[in-house]
Amino acid sequence: MHQRFDVVVVGAGSAGAVVAARLSESPDRSVLLLEAGPDHDAAHAPASISGPSFVAAMAEPGRVWPNLMAQRTPQQGARHYVRGRGVGGSSAINAMVALPGEAGDYDEWEHTFGCAGWSWADIQPWFARIPVPLRLCTPRETGRVARAMLAAEPTAELARLTRRGDGTRASVNDVYLQPARSRSNLTVLGDSQVDRVVLAGRRAVGVRLVDGTEIEAAVVVVCAGAIHSPAILLRSGVERDGIGQGLQDHPSFPMAMLLHEPPVDPAALVAVSALLRADHRVRHDLQVLAMDVVDPAMPTLGLLMGAAMRVESRGQVRLASNDPTVDPVVEFNMLSDERDLVALRAAAQLTERLALSDAMAAVAAPAPYDMSDAGLRASVGDYVHAVGTCRMGAATDPQAVVDPRGRVIGYDGLVVCDASVMPAVPRANTHLPTMMIAERIAATFAGGHSAP
């Protein structure tokens, strides 16, 4: 197959679907969206993907990368790391929590990391451009763990979730791609995993798929996420020292809650319907999620998930092999910075206080847990909020991979646009900030076919 497009977008997740939909609004620009996993329109989304349970969505065959492993801390070794696969990406399997982050997060991007134009004042209006509907849970959907947390802590709140009024999930496939699918200048191809960007010197001229197919493009926009975007760049031979470096996620402290009685109607419950944001060192740098659905086969198992939302530790993504079917090596190095250990302990103490509250004790009891330093290092979880491996910054910064417009520094026709460009993980669940980034970078494409 020999084809040429003005823009090829790699990955149909929280960024790629947004970029492809926005760029195809110009009828004279041909856009190809490539997705490693399955493609389907909104009407044919599996019921598990459309439904309220991210647990069921993750269990849908083919919707996560099955062999992707990650090391949180050296004490743990490697365990499975969940990344969405198929149209919608992680937005099709996540817990749907929608937060923009704090103003200071983005001011730091500009002032500390040299991301000119990414201060809170600059990016705040772009959140309003995102058309994804946000809804609170109804009382029927809110389980006992969430209700107990709301009763125990006055500042706890119902979570805003990316879903419609009828309770169905609103992924980027539903909201962005579906209205664009009828455009003659947009092509969406599923089951089309990209091996590498094809370069002519320092200019991107197309992509090569795993099956050897090459597709020409004037511009390539890599939106494969903070794990697979750096892997694609590394296989492509892109030369920037920062590729794969700077990896971050929110370290979490999961506390299992054993319900005294099973829920009356477990199928009606939303997995995460309430959260608590609290202050440790800075505003809202701690979070606790109340989960009422952990495993449908275990209806009396709930979870309180505490997390440190301000993160200092950094890890890396590196190639295990040049074979694109082999997942990269992922090492988060969580808690390697002592400040993160202190913050996670504060999150664990907050979680413990909620777990032992009178309101929670009336409905559930915590399973055994260990809040010692060794216990935290051994049990620390993640929030599947990987960021930072192709971070943006000033062109003079040797660790920056892309400039503030998403262009890979030192290359033409090559853009990265996803959570990998975040220079530091915000104090938020990352789906909403990733869509904001995609909206902004897509808007920098002027009329015509050139890169932003």
> Is domain 137-168+252-310+335-379 classified as CATH 3.30.560.10?
yes
What pLDDT is recorded for position 138?
87
Tokens of 244: 């794969």
Model confidence at 44: pLDDT above 60:
yes
> pTM (2 decimals)?
0.97
Superfamily (CATH) of domain 1-132+170-249+314-322+385-452: FAD/NAD(P)-binding domain (3.50.50.60)
Average pLDDT over residues 244-269: 95
d(CA 353, CA 288): 11
Confidence of residue 268 (pLDDT cuts 50, 70, 90): confident
**pLDDT averaged over every residue in the chain:** 96
Model confidence at 450: pLDDT above 80:
no
pLDDT in tens, 318-332: 999 999 999 999 999
Confidence of residue 296 (pLDDT cuts 50, 70, 90): confident
Q: Which of 50-59, 182-191, 224-233, 361-370 has the lowest mean pLDDT?
A: 50-59
Confidence of residue 447 (pLDDT cuts 50, 70, 90): very low
C-alpha dihedral over 221, 320, 244, 20, to 10 degrees? 20
What pLDDT is recorded for position 260?
98
Selection from 360, 359, 343, 356 nearest residue 306 by Cα: 343
What pLDDT is recorded for position 446?
52
Average pLDDT over residues 117-124: 97
What pLDDT is recorded for position 270?
92
Same fold, 1-132+170-249+314-322+385-452 and 137-168+252-310+335-379: no
pLDDT in tens, 404-434: 999 999 999 999 999 999 999 999 999 999 9
Residue spans per domain, the chain: 1-132+170-249+314-322+385-452, 137-168+252-310+335-379
Confidence of residue 2 (pLDDT cuts 50, 70, 90): low
* Rounded to 5°, angle at Cα 244 from 239 and 246: 120
